Amino acid sequence: MGGVTMQAAVLHAAGDLRVEEVPQPEPREGEALVRIRANGLCGSDIHFYEAGRLGPFVVDRPYIPGHEAVGVVEAIGRDAGAGSAAHGAPASRPAPGTRVAIEPGIPCRRCSHCKHGRYNLCTSVRFLSAPPENGTFAEYATLAADFCHVVPDALSDEEAALVEPVSVGVHACNRAAVRPGEPFAVVGAGPIGLITMLVGYAYGAGPATVVDIAANRRAKAIELGAAHAVDGSKGDEAVAEVMELTQGEGVPYVFDTSGASAGCAFAPRITRRGGVVTLVGWPELSAFPFPIEEVIEKELDIRGINRYCNTYPTALRLMESRKLDVRPLISHRFGFNEVVHAFEFASAHRDQTIKVLVGQAGRS
């Protein structure tokens, strides 16, 4: 496929996203070439677009963002079905023409973390759309064939594009070890927070209390089944409200998905003694005041999550069975020819968007 080009959305620097002709990737041994049919716009994509960096990842050269994607396998690299798959990934290669959800974190498969099944902790992981790795806002993407998960016919392309964020919620609930019938709280009602709530319900936990500073997102949480939605901007009053709702005990499982240091520090304050706080969102500060004395006094477990592992099969089953329905999360849709506008709109209208989807790339 030498010399063949494709259309892609290329981020050159903060605020500088362009649709360009770039070389079409060619699948190497062990890889699949996937024609992309839909992309979800992740909060990390917007952060790179706005700031040119996120944590240790810096946009220091042009690259293609995007990692919430579904597509169709176009071609298979030589011997893609050979060798062993990472734990939890499908062992057989998908045939050309198969519709697949893309798991974007490709580990080394050799380190101790990979060998023990926690391949998301691999220090050599290649994550599509984490600079400088190219992502999926393009006509085609290549990735390890066994990280292409077959999509059930019952799911639409739009739903399948959201298997990736659903996997974050699945991993969060797995890490917290939520139990059926136990109440839980989610701090931050963005897409990941709402999905974590839906996964918690699918696991049999509940009722859920959601905390957010934005009225529209609190309303969305109630629409999706939250028992209570608390205004997090009220600080101490918000803590008091949650404690009143729980007869002064607090909540046994609390997830911080806010991506804000204030939200992260808020979470232990509403957690029941002996409870579990699971940190999901990546805060805007690497270090900030945190209520350590409360953590010790309450004997809380603080657990972090790093993306996900072994979650795509579960996410797909929950979605196929309709135990979890992501369709109400989709707030805006754009064609690929509008991808730059999609980024601009999502960045400028956080109060209006929940999940933005971008349709199939192609030539006009």
- CATH number of 270's domain: 3.40.50.720
Cα 285 → chain centroid: 20
Q: Flag whether 287 is in a domain.
A: yes
Say yes or no to pLDDT of 85 above 60.
no
Exposed, middle or buried, 327 (CB in 10 Å: 0-12/13-18/19+)? exposed
Say yes or no to pLDDT of 221 above 70.
yes
Is the same domain home to 91 and 227? Answer: no
For strands 208-212 and 184-187, give the pairing: parallel
Is the same domain home to 135 and 19? Answer: yes
Q: Does pTM top 0.85 for this prediction?
A: yes
Are the beta carbons of 298 and 96 closer than 8 angstroms?
A: no
Q: Flag whether 317 is in a domain.
A: no
Is the same domain home to 151 and 210? Answer: no
Cα separation, 78 vs 219, whole angstroms: 50
Give the phi and the psi of residue 13 in degrees, each rounded to 5. Answer: -170, 175
Q: Flag whether 294 is in a domain.
A: yes
Say yes or no to pLDDT of 89 above 80.
no
Say yes or no to pLDDT of 88 above 50.
no
How many residues would you count in the chain? Answer: 364
CA gyration radius, the chain: 20
Q: Flag whether 190 is in a domain.
A: yes
Compute the average pLDDT of residues 48-59: 92
For strands 105-106 and 148-150, give the pairing: unpaired
Q: What is the pLDDT of residue 259?
A: 87
CATH code of the domain covering residue 122: 3.90.180.10
Residue 77 in tokens:
């690299």
Q: What is the pLDDT of residue 126?
A: 95
Say yes or no to pLDDT of 181 above 50.
yes
Is the same domain home to 61 and 201? Answer: no
For strands 355-358 and 330-334, give the pairing: parallel
Q: What is the pLDDT of residue 79?
A: 63
Q: Flag whether 216 is in a domain.
A: yes
Is the same domain home to 334 and 269? Answer: no
Give the phi and the psi of residue 332 in degrees, each rounded to 5. Answer: -145, 145
Are the beta carbons of 198 and 192 closer than 8 angstroms?
A: no
Say yes or no to pLDDT of 282 above 90.
no
Are the beta carbons of 68 and 46 closer than 8 angstroms?
A: no
Is the same domain home to 119 and 185? Answer: no
Is the same domain home to 144 and 195? Answer: no
Q: What is the pLDDT of residue 233?
A: 96
Say yes or no to pLDDT of 1 above 90.
no
Terminal Cα distance for the chain, rounded:
22
Side chain identity, residue 362: G
Alpha helices in 145-210 (DSSP H): 157-160, 163-176, 191-202
Is the same domain home to 16 and 143? Answer: yes
Q: What is the pLDDT of residue 55?
A: 81
Q: What is the pLDDT of residue 286?
A: 84
Q: What is the pLDDT of residue 84?
A: 40
Say yes or no to pLDDT of 92 above 90.
no
Range in 91-100, 320-329, 336-345 with the lowest mean pLDDT: 91-100
Q: Flag whether 262 is in a domain.
A: yes
Residue 6 in tokens:
């494709």
For strands 99-102 and 126-127, give the pairing: unpaired
Q: Which domain range does residue 205 map to?
A: 166-304
Cα separation, 122 vs 132, whole angstroms: 17
Q: Flag whether 314 is in a domain.
A: no
Residue 189 in tokens:
């009602």
Q: What is the pLDDT of residue 153?
A: 97
Is the same domain home to 296 and 330? Answer: no
Are the beta carbons of 109 and 119 closer than 8 angstroms?
A: yes
Range in 8-17, 144-153, 240-249, 283-292 with the lowest mean pLDDT: 283-292
What CA–CA distances, in Å, run from 166 to 63, 119, 158, 240? 25, 18, 13, 31
The DSSP symbol for 310 reads S
Q: What percent of the chain has pLDDT over 70?
A: 95
Cα separation, 320 vs 326, whole angstroms: 11
Say yes or no to pLDDT of 223 above 60.
yes
Q: Provide the domain count of the chain.
A: 2
Is the same domain home to 33 and 151? Answer: yes
SS3 (DSSP) at 303: strand
Is the same domain home to 178 and 264? Answer: yes
SS3 (DSSP) at 271: strand
Is the same domain home to 126 and 241? Answer: no
Query: Mean pLDDT, the chain, as a whole number?
Result: 94
Residue 181 in tokens:
């019938």
Say yes or no to pLDDT of 179 above 70.
yes
Say yes or no to pLDDT of 90 above 80.
no
Compute the average pLDDT of residues 234-251: 97
Cα dihedral sign, 349-351-352-354: positive
Q: Flag whether 129 is in a domain.
A: yes
